[in-house]
Structure 1
């Protein structure tokens, strides 16, 4: 279902920790931008604090974390904790990378949105973020 948005969606794309592989994050950022979203890419080696602070400063609708290092069960819970401390409870936390299905389920139960595995179509990621923002942040 197509919902009309009153403004461009703002998304922060981040790489947290020592994970130095950013090709996927750059592909996602470009695809989101091509879909009409405003994208802020933080670059490599960010801390959870840096990501949440950037999200606050940039007034984003969604944070997308790309993670290939295996640290997803540390990174996502820490980002959620900081988002709660900073009262950033109306921002989507989503992401993708190499994350086992059982860990994806555990992270979703903690409050993380949809997580995307390698090979997911860009259109399904764009659609998910667009639908979430239209439902939760269409102001």
Structure 2
């Protein structure tokens, strides 16, 4: 039996719309993952610190504000600086395809747009976690 996957769901910046983040958090919990939801208006520093303190496997950012090209890289950089580049950084929101591609080039994992099935996200995280465990074995 493997341990539960630990996921931190965060809403960085000034975006006050958290319904989608709460839906994702509930879906991940329903799938058997341990979920920490940080709430609204988190700074990248707060998110990275919480991820490290909670020893999570995955950080999921929900960004609807248009600040994704700043917020995702900053969280990634802070995790790397703390020696936690093993944490999967994923997320979703209103992010154009070309920005998704640019963020992936900078170390951000797959990103999910509006209308994505929560099951797609659950499967993506489970597959990533299983492949990581195989590498560690």
Which TM bucket (shorter chain)? Answer: over 0.9
Long gaps (5+) in structure 1: none
Counterpart Cα distance in 2 of 1:136 and 1:113? 14
Please report how far the alpha carbon of residue 133 of structure 1 lies from its aligned counterpart in structure 2 after TM superposition: 1.1
1:12-67 CA-partner distances (Å, limit 9, x unpaired): 00000101000000000000000000000000000001001100111100000000
Counterpart Cα distance in 2 of 1:17 and 1:119? 22
1:45-94 CA-partner distances (Å, limit 9, x unpaired): 00001001100111100000000000000001111110111011111000
Counterpart Cα distance in 1 of 2:132 and 2:46? 24
Q: TM-score, normalised by structure 2?
A: 0.96
Counterpart Cα distance in 1 of 2:55 and 2:79? 13
* Corresponding residue for residue 108 of structure 2: 112
* Corresponding residue for residue 37 of structure 2: 41
1:27 aligns with 2:23: yes
Q: TM-score, normalised by structure 1?
A: 0.94
Long gaps (5+) in structure 2: none
State the aligned residue count: 135
Contact in 2 for aligned 1:62/1:92 (Cα 8 Å): yes
Please report how far the alpha carbon of residue 137 of structure 1 lies from its aligned counterpart in structure 2 after TM superposition: 4.3
| Runs of at least 4 residues off by over 6 Å | none
Root-mean-square deviation over aligned CA pairs: 1.1
Counterpart Cα distance in 1 of 2:9 and 2:104? 19
Counterpart Cα distance in 2 of 1:73 and 1:129? 22
